[in-house]
Amino acid sequence: MLRRFVTNIFKPKFLYRWIVKSKAKECKGKLSVNGFCTVNNNTYLGYNVNFNGIKITGKGRCVIGDNFHSGTNCQIMTDYHNYDAGICVPYDNTVIVRDVTIGDNVWIGNNVIILPGVTLGEGCVIQAGSVVVSDIEPCAVAGGHPAKVFKMRDLEHYNKLKEQKRFF
């Protein structure tokens, strides 16, 4: 038993998963971590979360729903420096905390950055290379910098797959 544990601990996926699970405040289960990832200690993970190289930083709360998938080199920030009302320029040592909420069945592509205070609605897709600065509505497909909705998913098809529990 110990030999299997020692053998597994040196496998990167096992180690990456252990790092995320030990740091996150909550993990409902079935977590897949396929690349180096970091999360803050105020991260709540749903069921069937799939990370491929994500960095969640800041003091704010980050809630990720069920059946989430991320590409590589993604970032989620939950706070930012006070640049407006601070006592120094360009910013001072205080931070402004804004929670990030990601609904169920969301997929974000490679190199996506999500800024503090954003909510991604259920079933939305964020195109690779996007910077999300404001909320994205459920089942929207968005991309760009700043990310804008350019298409909506087929709701009838989406709801049919969801009803059949066809989750990847």
d(CA 48, CA 163): 17
Q: Which of 69, 81, 145, 157 is an active site residue?
A: 81
Judge whether residue 161 has pLDDT over 70: yes
What pLDDT, on the 0 to 100 scale, is given for residue 2?
A: 46
Stretch 125-144: mean pLDDT: 98
Residue 157 bears catalytic tag: no
Strands 140-143 and 148-152: antiparallel
Q: Average pLDDT in the 48-71 region?
A: 97
The residues, ordered by sequence, that sit 6+ positions from 5 with a Cβ below 8 Å of its Cβ are none
Q: What angle do CA 140, 30, 62 make, to 5 degrees?
A: 50
State the Cα–Cα distance between residues 54 and 47, nearest whole angstrom. Answer: 17
Location of structure tokens 């059949």: 164
Looking at 30-34, 82-86, 98-102, 158-162, which range is the least confident one? Answer: 82-86
Q: pLDDT band at 9, cuts 50/70/90?
A: low
Question: Which residues contact residue 154 at a Cβ distance below 8 angstroms, ignoring those fewer than 6 apart?
Answer: none
Q: Enter the tokens of residue 154.
A: 């087929």
- Largest Cα–Cα distance in the chain? 57
**Residue 13: partners with Cβ closer than 8 Å, 6 or more residues away:** 33, 34
Minimum mean pLDDT range among 49-58, 78-87, 133-142, 150-159:
78-87
pLDDT cut 70: percent of the chain above it: 93
Using CA atoms, how far residue 40 sits from 84, 90, 103, 114, 146, in Å, is: 25, 26, 18, 15, 24
